[in-house]
Amino acid sequence: MKQILYTEESDALLLHLLFVVLCILVLLIPGVAIGIKLFVLVVVYNFAVPVVGKKRGHEAWIGIWLFALILSGFQVFPDWFLSDYLGVLVFPEDGFRKIGTVSGYMAGLWAIPIFIIVYSGTRVIKRFSTKAGYAAAALLALIIFGGSEATLWILPSWYAQNVSMVGHVALYILIPEIILGLSCLYGYETIRMKPHWVKVPASFIVMQLYLGSAVFFYFIFEHLGLFRFVAK
In a domain, 19, yes or no: no
pTM (2 d.p.): 0.94
At residue 166, the 3 state secondary structure works out as strand
pLDDT value of residue 225: 76
pLDDT value of residue 104: 97
- What count of residues does the chain have? 232
Average pLDDT, integer, range 211-218:
97
Tally the C-alpha atoms within 13 A of residue 29's C-alpha that lie toward its C-beta: 15
pLDDT value of residue 224: 86
* Mean per-residue pLDDT over the chain, rounded: 94
Q: Among candidates 172, 176, 181, 165, which has minimal Cα distance to 223?
A: 172
Which band of pLDDT confidence, cut at 50, 70 and 90, is reported for residue 231? very low
In a domain, 134, yes or no: yes
Q: Is 211 a residue whose pLDDT tops 90?
A: yes
Q: Is 232 a residue whose pLDDT tops 50?
A: no
- Alpha carbon distance 102, 104 (integer Å): 6
Bigger pLDDT: 140 vs 3 = 140
In a domain, 35, yes or no: no
Which band of pLDDT confidence, cut at 50, 70 and 90, is reported for residue 6? confident
In a domain, 220, yes or no: yes
- Alpha carbon distance 211, 216 (integer Å): 9
Helices (H) and strands (E) in the chain, counts: 10, 6
pLDDT tens per residue across span 83-127: 999 999 999 999 999 999 999 999 999 999 999 999 999 999 999
Which range marks the domain in which residue 121 is found?
62-231
Average pLDDT, integer, range 133-154:
95
- Alpha carbon distance 78, 7 (integer Å): 36
pLDDT value of residue 227: 58
pLDDT value of residue 38: 97
- What is the total count of domains within the chain? 1
In a domain, 28, yes or no: no
Bigger pLDDT: 1 vs 158 = 158
In a domain, 194, yes or no: yes
In a domain, 30, yes or no: no
In the chain, the percentage of residues whose pLDDT exceeds 70 is: 95
Q: Is 1 a residue whose pLDDT tops 80?
A: no
pLDDT tens per residue across span 23-76: 999 999 999 999 999 999 999 999 999 999 999 999 999 999 999 999 999 999
Which band of pLDDT confidence, cut at 50, 70 and 90, is reported for residue 2? low
In a domain, 31, yes or no: no
Q: Is 223 a residue whose pLDDT tops 90?
A: no
